[in-house]
């Protein structure tokens, strides 16, 4: 037992001595290192700077190597779509492409409607999209109301002529009032002035009244058919003047200040106005 205790103490003493020796060696190595080595570490020396400057000088003194020319055959240029042109000075424009619809100017549209009822007898413009001129006959209509008023007009005109030599002023004024009333009803119904002038000159009542186009343009809508009953609220023709049209396009709000109508847009509008309706 005593032998084991003595061996244990000797081992502990030996470990303590070994640790002390190792600690002394480590401390000596740390204190012997120069204090300025960490500050000077990584900084170039004068020899390094001189070598760098000399390398740069040699690189600048070397002659520039010419860039080799690239040659492409004509077939290759054509296949990849290369185009050449002369250098010129011109203004550069920012082009914005968008889609739109060409619509009719609402201020250049006319509607053919009657203020009296009747029955269509003859139709002269019997298709959609033909071009008609102002005053061109569209159709004829038979109306009992206008025929009755025309008969009253003729009777009043004849009565005025018969009492024109009357010595009683009331008789002459009454006949003139009847004539003016009949003429006023014809004008309110929209009877053409040519029809009233014909009635004034001939004194004959015709069963049909000719209705002419009020404007020049293309017929975009037609509801006038032969033997169809016509009411005042019925729209018989829609005639549009396509000399000026609208283009309704969509664009981003940020591009509105840079949008202008170019020559291609004007050409498209003019082509639509002159060709498209006629082709239908």
Do 238 and 101 share a domain, yes or no? Answer: yes
In a domain, 41, yes or no: no
pLDDT tens, residue by residue, 89-112: 887 777 777 888 888 998 999 999
Residue range 189-234, pLDDT digits in tens: 888 888 888 888 888 888 899 999 999 999 999 999 999 999 998 9
Quick check: is 87 in a domain? no
- HEC profile of 7-42: HHHHHHHHHHHHHHHHHHHHHHHHHHCCCCHHHHCC
Do 118 and 248 sit in the same domain of this protein?
A: yes
Higher pLDDT, 56 or 160: 160
Task: Please tell me the predicted confidence (pLDDT) of residue 14.
Answer: 75
How many distinct structural domains can be found in the chain?
Answer: 2
**In-domain check, residue 171:** yes
Same domain, 124 and 260: yes
Whether residue 55 has pLDDT greater than 50 = yes
| Residue 263 covered by a domain | yes
Continuous H helices in 44-168: 46-61, 74-80, 144-162
Contact 117, 230 (CB under 8 A): yes
Does a structural domain hold residue 182? yes
Bridge partners, 100 (sequence order): 249
Final residue in a domain of this structure, among 154, 178, 212? 212
pLDDT for res 267: 45
The residue out of 212, 234, 262 marking a domain boundary is 212
Question: Is residue 147 one of the residues assigned to a domain?
Answer: yes
- Same domain for 245 and 191: no
What SS3 string covers 235-252? CCEEEECCCCEEEEECCC
Q: Are residues 249 and 111 in the same domain?
A: yes
**Is 109 a member of any domain?**
yes
- If one counts every other C-beta atom within 10 angstroms of the C-beta of residue 156, the result is 20
Phi, psi of 169 (to 5 degrees): -65, -35
Structure pTM? Answer: 0.55
For residues 168 and 183, membership in a common domain is answered with yes
Q: 276 and 143 share a domain?
A: no
In a domain, 20, yes or no: no
Tell me, yes or no, whether 144 and 277 share the same domain.
no
Query: Which domain range does residue 229 map to?
Result: 97-136+219-280
If asked whether residues 227 and 269 sit together in one domain, one would say yes
Q: Which of 140, 96, 150, 98 is nearest to 119 (CA)?
A: 140
Q: Which of 180, 153, 150, 176 is nearest to 163 (CA)?
A: 176
């Amino acid at each position: 037992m005593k032998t084991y205790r003595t061996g244990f103490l000797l081992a502990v003493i030996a470990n303590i001595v070994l640790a002390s020796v190792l600690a002394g060696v480590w401390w000596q190595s740390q204190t012997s290192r120069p204090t300025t080595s960490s500050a000077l570490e990584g900084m170039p020396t004068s020899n390094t700077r001189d070598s760098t400057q000399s390398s740069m000088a040699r690189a600048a003194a070397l002659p520039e190597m010419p860039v080799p020319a690239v040659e492409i055959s004509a077939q290759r240029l054509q296949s990849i779509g290369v185009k050449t042109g002369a250098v010129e000075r011109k203004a550069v424009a920012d082009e914005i492409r968008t889609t739109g619809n060409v619509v009719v100017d609402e201020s250049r549209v006319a509607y053919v409607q009657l203020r009296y009822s009747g029955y269509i007898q003859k139709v002269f413009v019997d298709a959609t999209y033909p071009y008609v001129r102002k005053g061109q006959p569209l159709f004829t209509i038979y109306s009992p109301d206008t025929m009755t008023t025309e008969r009253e007009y003729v009777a009043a005109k004849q009565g005025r002529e018969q009492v024109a030599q009357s010595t009683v002023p009331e008789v002459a004024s009454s006949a003139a009032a009847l004539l003016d009333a009949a003429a006023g009803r014809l004008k309110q119904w929209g009877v053409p002035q040519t029809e009233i002038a014909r009635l004034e000159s001939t004194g004959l009542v015709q069963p049909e009244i000719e209705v002419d186009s009020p404007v020049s343009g293309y017929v975009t809508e037609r509801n006038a058919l032969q033997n169809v009953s016509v009411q005042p609220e019925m729209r018989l023709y829609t005639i549009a003047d396509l000399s000026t049209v609208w283009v309704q396009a969509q664009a981003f709000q940020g591009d509105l200040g840079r949008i202008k109508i170019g020559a291609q847009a004007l050409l498209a509008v003019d082509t639509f106005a002159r060709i498209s309706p006629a082709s239908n």
